[in-house]
Structure 1
């Protein structure tokens, strides 16, 4: 099979994966919009589970394994409307497509490397989505603390205040608090439910809020003053985090730009001298040089990401 045929097959497979993912995103967005319309019109929430789930057989098999259980917990922490089977099929399909494209566009040696990069990208996407959800939740914590303080000052119980916050706040805070309220309705204690919330979305700000609520619930004292002071502190930390992210945006952009420059250099070299990468990677010395270069790029990427990661 020629390189052109491999490139065409890989491109077709990648387009198919992107098309399926696009349809999924469109269907999810449409369902969320209809749910918001129903909520604003006071017609009651839409029944859950209306979206047709794909790859049910793969999902059932994976859920029975340790890998599937861990992946299910990670997907739940990201808030993505994806099953274990759907995510696995999408990632494997993307890896296969990139394998074929890299083998055809560069050299057969780069096929497995591209497949491994695709698997790493899937794992990185989950981590990024989870961190994005945590950041969004942290940004809503001042408003959450304010709602709880006002509800407590009005004489409402903590369980009622959490339910009120779940109704007023948007996702992800509204969704997480709705889960907490549902667990409380089933008879679970406030300590357990808030502790699980802090484990799902770990952050210093949420730990402080949860600790304040748990201690006040145990001691039976008022938390209005503590929550109002916490609201001011969370607002200040929110602004500080925003400034830090803005200052480090250039470092994070550079971390992703350098590997792309290396990839562009290889593509340009192969286009200038067709088959040069295949000849280079056809020899053990060339393969070792490429692996060393990839390792150095990986070390540089990880190092710059560490430099651009500051805990506030």
Structure 2
């Protein structure tokens, strides 16, 4: 009898806990929705500025005052990532420390520093990849951008007004970048300087051609509408050509990444077949030199394959 009473009591407490958990979750979700609606309403009226809470502010402020920090800030600005130099630096150090420990534990103590250097290289490659990805996306939007500018100027709007209109109609990254240009123009910057900074942030041949066309047309008062119409057709053709080249070179690009992965996988396989083999191999200067030379050759192979597969259009 006592056992059945205990079971009933436990069941009741469990059901009550589940009920309270559901009520709490409902209250939490409704509160977040109300807060989001309030923030959205206040941000539209300009009473508050919406932004993510930044971490490591002191480190970020000190890092921005250095030359390395300023270069890192420019790289992050080109990637479009919502992250500060201080946050990226801390995350990179955490990744380096984790890879260092994993390399020491999984392979041998000698591979710890090598894994840490690999983490630094991977972080820089991630920024380069994000920047190139943003540039590619911006290039794909250039035909639509040229078309909007041509239609706006044909309707009698000034080029400054046409840029602001394009910033509102286009999605990121073109909308964000043109918004920066429109903001600079509103603050009194010249058309040459504002568009020149845009070309520096997202360097590409297509953007340079568009910027040159706009600058020359604005400076000399040429036929900007006809120039933009012709440029739109050219950009559409280049867009299709780049897409075909990227498709044909996808296998080569995968090979460039597979080569170093196979080398690292061979190390794990060697250590798995015979435990402690890497410890004995890296215990002598000759073995350490051999490992360093092998990693250097894998890096050279990766770079050469990437260079050979690069086709400038």
Identify the TM-score tier after normalising by the shorter chain.
0.7 to 0.9
Alignment of 1:60-139 (within 5 A): 60-139=61-140
Match of residue 220 from structure 1: 221
TM-score (normalizing by structure 1) = 0.85
Deviation at 1:44, TM superposition (A): 6.8
Deviation at 1:85, TM superposition (A): 0.4
Structure 1 unaligned residues grouped into runs of 5+? 1-33
Deviation at 1:101, TM superposition (A): 0.4
Distance 1:273 1:263 in 2: 16
Higher RCO (CA 8 Å, separation ≥ 6 residues): 1
Alignment of 1:259-278 (within 5 A): 259-278=260-279
TM-score (normalizing by structure 2) = 0.85
Distance 1:191 1:162 in 2: 13
Deviation at 1:221, TM superposition (A): 2.7
Deviation at 1:47, TM superposition (A): 5.4
RMSD, aligned CA: 2.0
Number of equivalent positions: 277
Distance 2:69 2:221 in 1: 42
Distance 2:60 2:219 in 1: 42
Distance 1:46 1:302 in 2: 51
Deviations 1:222-242 (A, max 9, x none): 311110110000000000000
Alignment of 1:186-201 (within 5 A): 186-201=187-202
SS in 1 for 2:311: coil
Which deviates more, 217-226 or 250-259? 217-226
Alignment of 1:11-50 (within 5 A): 48-50=49-51
Match of residue 179 from structure 1: 180
Match of residue 158 from structure 1: 159
Deviation at 1:310, TM superposition (A): 1.2
Counterparts in 2 of 1:121 and 1:45: CA distance versus 1, 3 Å? farther
Larger Rg: 2
Counterparts in 2 of 1:121 and 1:74: CA distance versus 1, 3 Å? same
SS in 1 for 2:144: helix
Structure 2 unaligned residues grouped into runs of 5+? 1-35
Match of residue 168 from structure 2: 167
Deviation at 1:43, TM superposition (A): 5.3
